[in-house]
């Protein structure tokens, strides 16, 4: 049982490290799990040139989306991941969604199904260069977590477009400290595809595509007190439409204890043009809003209360504000999951989860509040094929 418990801890470590992300290099620590090729074919792996993973999650869901209860079996995640390293300098990583449209985006010419297709070059112990299609280097632990392990994202992260072509340079001044400068596209499709031909602001002003639709992000990932405390902080700005800049800040901090881990993320967006489009879809009347402010507070705790078991609790509080509507919209999220790890040398878990959301509006918005509820019974398996 002790081995099962240690495996559960390793799986939880991989939750943070394998991420969208992990987030630099090839994706962080993936756990000391036996591959299927080793277990089934007795092919002992002697090189790190090629690693093959299949991230798969599926569940039976019973839920109420505000229009009554329904039930169905659902494939939550199906992602193929290939990564490796050649020598001490060159790395690569591909992660591709198999249950997503394969059509290429008309601006970048990458498929939306491709999360990551990058190459990295380690110059020395202090500097690494990366390029290709990357996950943008925003901070926060929810943002960096492997999507397979997410039962429900915060609205801010869920509405972001963060897998984009670009480049990054990482600086490691000392062990446990990483600084990343990331420049990427601001969108993957042409402006007219993203916003529609003839897109207008609410006051009738015509929107024009930026000549330089780029995002600029500065990221700090810290490891303090021997790993007891971790940080993922970032600030950034991006431009999509001519004359409009959006700014974001992410501050994530995490406490790691032997049987208990908890993080708290604060994420905020000041949008000259409503890129997340939550407010525009509700109040814009088919047009886009300007000067929108989003705030998200997310906390998540994992408690290994018994060998092979984990209790996960997650809470979310989010607001949206306009110039004339301070906190016109408040969203609450509450998630709990009981997870069991039955196989000690595989990143496999069975879970029973509850996901609830509540949306409230100010009276001046004339929008009604509503709730959603969902119960899931399923499994998650990060298959290490080779």
User: What is the tens place of the pLDDT at every residue in 239-295?
Assistant: 999 999 999 999 999 999 999 999 999 999 999 999 999 999 999 889 999 999 999
> What is the pTM (predicted TM-score) of this model?
0.88
Region 118-135 average pLDDT: 95
Residue 343: asked if its preceding bond is cis (omega within 30°), the reply is: no
Domain 2-99+140-156+190-384 - what CATH class?
A: mainly beta
b/e burial code for range 44-63 (CB count within 10 A of at least 16 → b) = eeeeeeebbbbbbbbbebeb
What is the pLDDT of the chain when averaged over all its residues?
88
What residue ranges do the domains of the chain occupy? 2-99+140-156+190-384
Q: Are 76 and 59 in contact (CB under 8 A)?
A: yes
CA distances (Å), origin 373, targets 63, 151, 172, 215, 354: 5, 12, 44, 35, 8
Within 8 A by CB and 6+ apart from 344, the residues are: 3, 4, 6, 7
Q: Are 125 and 238 in contact (CB under 8 A)?
A: no
Q: Are 347 and 382 in contact (CB under 8 A)?
A: yes
Please write the tens of the pLDDT for every residue from 71-116: 999 999 999 999 999 988 999 999 999 988 888 888 998 999 999 9
* The pLDDT value given to residue 48: 78
CA atoms within 13 A on the CB side of 168: 32
Give residue for tokens 């999507």: 147
């Amino acid at each position: 049982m002790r081995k099962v418990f240690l495996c559960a801890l390793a799986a939880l470590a991989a939750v943070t490290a394998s991420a969208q992300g992990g987030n630099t290099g090839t994706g962080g620590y993936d756990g000391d799990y036996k591959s299927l090729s080793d277990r089934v074919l007795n092919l002992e792996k002697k090189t790190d040139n090629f690693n093959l993973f299949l991230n798969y999650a599926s569940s039976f869901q019973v839920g109420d989306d505000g229009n009554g209860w329904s039930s169905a079996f659902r494939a939550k995640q199906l992602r193929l991941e290939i990564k490796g390293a050649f020598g001490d300098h060159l790395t690569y990583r591909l992660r591709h969604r198999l249950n997503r449209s394969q059509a290429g985006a008309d601006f970048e010419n990458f498929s939306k199904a491709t999360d990551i297709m990058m190459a990295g070059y380690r110059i020395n112990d202090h500097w690494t260069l990366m390029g290709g299609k990357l996950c943008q280097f925003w901070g926060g632990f929810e943002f960096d977590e492997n999507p397979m392990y997410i039962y429900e994202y915060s609205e801010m992260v869920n509405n972001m477009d963060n897998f984009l072509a670009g480049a990054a340079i990482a600086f490691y001044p000392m062990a446990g400290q990483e600084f990343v400068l990331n420049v990427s596209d601001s969108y993957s499709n042409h402006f007219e595809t993203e916003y529609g031909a003839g897109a207008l602001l609410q006051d009738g002003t015509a929107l024009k595509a930026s000549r330089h639709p780029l995002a600029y992000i500065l990221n700090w990932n810290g490891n303090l007190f021997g790993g007891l405390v971790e940080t993922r902080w970032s600030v950034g700005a991006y431009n999509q439409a001519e004359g409009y800049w959006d700014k974001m800040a992410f501050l994530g901090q995490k406490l790691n204890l032997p049987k208990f881990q908890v993080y708290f993320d604060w994420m905020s967006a000041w949008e000259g043009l409503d890129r997340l489009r939550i407010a525009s879809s509700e109040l814009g009347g088919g047009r886009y809003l300007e000067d929108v402010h989003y705030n998200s507070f997310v906390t998540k705790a994992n408690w290994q209360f018994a060998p092979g078991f984990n209790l996960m609790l997650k809470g979310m509080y989010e607001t949206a504000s306009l110039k004339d509507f301070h906190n016109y919209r408040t969203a609450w999220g509450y998630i709990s999951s009981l997870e069991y790890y039955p196989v000690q040398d595989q990143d496999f878990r069975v879970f029973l989860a509850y996901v609830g959301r509540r949306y409230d509006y100010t009276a001046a918005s004339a929008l009604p509040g509503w709730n959603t509820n969902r119960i899931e019974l399923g499994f998650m398996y990060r298959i290490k094929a080779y």
